[in-house]
Amino acid sequence: MTAVTTNIEWLNRAYSAKGLSDLRSLYDEWAASYDSDLAKKDQEYVAPALAAATVAKHLSPTPLDTVKILDAGCGTGLVGKALAQLGAKHIDGVDLSPGMLDVARKLNVYTELDTIDLSKPLDQRTASYDVVTCIGTLTHAHVGPEVLSEFVRVVKPGGWIVATVLDDIWEPIGYRAEVDELLAQGKVELVSADVGDYRRGAGVRARMVVLKVIGPSPSSSP
């Protein structure tokens, strides 16, 4: 009989991954049960729905069906699904795991889905999106704070970045310092970084970081 991997075991593996190969293998393996696992009462992963609501709130009164969104670290598409339910129609998704993207593809809410390593410069053109979301990816052993500057690059001036950062790594890993640097450079406005529910059933909280891109986008592009 095949042993059943518990939520705690999956998460422990994710948070202790030794590199990109480990992460990709983990998420490829987890993809089939990821959504149902994190929907269970002991996890209650509410961050995707909360993030979609945050995007809609800050874009209002602009309707979501008029904007172009990049869902970075989209996984199985939980954020894209939540955004689509609120009216979004132009969503691209990128993720490290082909297995996760296969699940996301079945939702039919993404315009494009691509396998991308977020620890490297993005392929997306400068100032090509109105919004970037990054939910569940700025966490232990995943993607570091330097990706925030890439998000700023691909968002149009006046556009938005909505990202979760686990509260226990906000300062120690350098996310706050990266945001402070972007502020100092005049590239963004920090609208909020409030701590709220993330995996509510497990009592895990994260910062919902909301940045508005205010400076001119860098002239360089990939």
Tokens of 87: 């009216």
Q: What number is the average pLDDT over the span 194-205?
A: 95
Percent of residues, the chain, with pLDDT higher than 90: 84
pLDDT tens for 117-155 read 999 999 999 999 999 999 999 988 789 999 999 999 999
pLDDT of residue 16: 72
Quickly state the pLDDT bin for 163 (edges 50, 70, 90).
very high
Q: What number is the average pLDDT over the span 185-194?
A: 97
**Three-class SS of residue 126?**
coil
Q: What is the mean pLDDT of the chain?
A: 92
Alpha-carbon span 78 to 119, nearest angstrom: 21
> What is the reported pTM?
0.91
- The torsion region of residue 170 among left (phi > 0), alpha (psi -120 to 50) and beta comes to alpha
Percent of residues, the chain, with pLDDT higher than 70: 91
Which range in 13-17, 33-37, 85-89 is most confidently predicted, on average pLDDT? 85-89
Quickly state the pLDDT bin for 22 (edges 50, 70, 90).
confident
* DSSP per residue, 53-115: HHHHHHHTTS-GGGSEEEEET-TTTHHHHHHHHTT--EEEEEES-HHHHHHHHTT---SEEEE
Tokens of 96: 């490290």
Residue (of 32, 34, 14) closest to 23 by Cα position: 14
pLDDT of residue 2: 42
Q: What number is the average pLDDT over the span 73-77?
A: 98
Homologous superfamily of 47-213 in CATH?
Vaccinia Virus protein VP39 (3.40.50.150)
Quickly state the pLDDT bin for 216 (edges 50, 70, 90).
low
Quickly state the pLDDT bin for 215 (edges 50, 70, 90).
low
Q: What number is the average pLDDT over the span 44-52?
A: 97
